[in-house]
Amino acid sequence: MRDPLARLDDISEAIANIERHAPVEESQFAQDEFAQTWILRQLQNIGEAVNHLPPEWLAEYPDIPWGEIVGMRNRIVHGYFGIRLDVIWSAATIGLPALKRAVESLRAAHTPPA
């Protein structure tokens, strides 16, 4: 089983990947199958990592919709043809900054002193 701090790294890496490769406009995203696939994969990775974080860590940030993040992962994996691109775009552009801050705070709070 992977260490929870490694799971935070997974989330941070996926967020950075989205930030680096997401189109600037939603209309570009809607037309770019590569970007759609890339972002779906990164959101899937985020959901998988969140699913393995300790519940007590998640409870420290009740404003983050942890259950919805895992639910989105499940929808991506099991219900591909029912995925709404507008919801994916919102998750990738609106939801990620708060998640990024929470992950950074969790890392700071749970990294053992050197």
Catalytic residues: 73, 78
C-alpha angle 100-6-70 in degrees, rounded to nearest 5: 60
* Euclidean distance between CA atoms 86 and 92, whole angstroms: 10
> Among residues 66, 55, 76, 74, which one has the least CA distance to residue 99?
66
> Among residues 84, 77, 89, 90, which one has the least CA distance to residue 48?
77
Amino acid at 24: V
